[in-house]
A = this chain, B = another copy of it.
């Protein structure tokens, strides 16, 4: 039987809250099995961009990553957040090592191609999201090498194109791609931690956690618009992982990490009918 590997993603809300982050990292460090942490961005990048007077352009709800914004992202994600998490994990006896996709060629990506709008008022307009990367390959050998040396990779949401260009990349997608890539060597559990107790039947009621979602119920929940907007890409990532050999996917609250692992909290994503 393959040994267990936890791939755990934390989002911005916990990164922005020092106390919650401390306590999450303490709990994360207690996981005895091999583990990988992937972190998102948080509000700090937006704050720093504002203070540096870098105008932020949002198109269709997505931030455009121009050269100046990419610089802020590299500074905040790979510098401040990644290194603080790494140092805090080290203080909890977890031998963490921070990485971006450029480090050791961990995550090769290509710049997302411009999109020509086919509907709406701006028909035909070309949208360029800037330095945003879509992942092509994961360096499995590097991750295996680190994990075998009892090192815990801590991954910032930045990739590279192998031509010297860093690229801003969605942390949920990175978690999915890394989980899939390691199914040959490990029994992988992927955990998406966010601010809610799990996927909710009623967005405003934290007690309405849906205990399990499978492909059929997902379709149904989308049709009924119970699951919509931001949850859709997260669940698409979850199913993509499950359909490619990841054993378990769990979505839930960062503060309840041990309960997410034990199965007593959060939403379990299942590919059985």
Residues of A within 8 A of B (CB): 48, 51-52, 71, 74-80, 82-84, 86-88, 90-91, 95-100, 102-105, 142, 145, 149, 151, 158, 160, 162-166
- B74, B95, B102, B142: the one contacting A105 at CB < 8 Å is B95
Q: How many copies does the complex hold?
A: 2
Majority SS at the chain A contact face: helix
Which residues in B have their C-beta under 8 angstroms from that of A145?
Answer: 145, 149
- B80, B104, B149: the one contacting A79 at CB < 8 Å is B80
> Smallest Cβ distance from A160 to chain B, in angstroms?
5
CA distance in complex: A84, B158 (Å): 11
Contact (Cβ within 8 A) B79 A103: no
CA distance in complex: A254, B74 (Å): 25
Contact (Cβ within 8 A) B83 A166: yes
Which residues in B have their C-beta under 8 angstroms from that of A84?
Answer: 74, 166
Contact (Cβ within 8 A) A75 B86: no
Which residues in B have their C-beta under 8 angstroms from that of A163?
Answer: 91
A47 nearest in chain B by CB position: B52
